[in-house]
Amino acid sequence: MNVPPNSEPESQILTVPNLITLVRLLCLPVFVWLLLGRENPLAAGALLGVLGATDWVDGWYARRFNAVSNFGKIFDPVVDRLLFFVSIVAIIIAGAAPIWFCIAVLVREVALSLATLVLASLGARRIDVTWIGKAATFGLMFAFPGFLWASTDWALQPFFEVAAWVCALPSLAASYYAAGLYVPIGLRALREGREARAAGE
């Protein structure tokens, strides 16, 4: 989608990356239906893998074609978190992945979500997602399809079980490392937000 010449890309809402993110959000109920309604982990895993890939696509498109928007900087991480919460809970219910791993991912996501809300309520400026946090999320979004594909009895089950762990463990470690990086970033954002608010008064 081309941005009009006199408009600022960051102020746009109807951009290609935001539309891709919206499609990802609308596909979430389909994933739950495939996994829990149809009990089809292969199809559910395929859809989850596509959703993970499109998360990279919308970010790449936004940077490549100058389509980064302020709305997208908020909308995309929110959809990422919602996708994580709902899909992991569905996977736990289906018993398709190790529960300790699912809980470890959920604990990190809950902690970051709560910290984001607290910082926002205290007047912190918006915090952008770090590249290592994005990479960890990307890896986890491929680990879970691997677990889904390894949860059913078929010829490639051993391969996907190994592949799932190869993606899962480094990505989980990276996600907690990224969470630690957000501590000084969050404190700085809080200080800068308060300074900006004080300067405007």
Predicted confidence (pLDDT) per residue in 81-132, tens digit: 899 899 999 999 999 999 999 999 999 999 998 998 899 888 888 887 788 9
17-74 confidence digits (pLDDT tens) = 999 999 999 999 999 999 999 999 999 999 999 998 888 888 888 888 888 888 888 8
3-state secondary structure of 6: coil
Predicted pLDDT of residue 20: 93
| Contacts of 113 by beta carbon, 8 Å cutoff, 6+ apart | 81
Q: How far apart are CA 112 and CA 151, in angstroms?
A: 29
Q: Are 161 and 150 in contact (CB under 8 A)?
A: yes
In one letter, which amino acid is 38? Answer: R
Q: Which domains does the chain have, with CATH numbers?
A: 9-192 (1.20.120)
Q: How far apart are alpha carbons 142 and 45 in whole angstroms?
A: 9
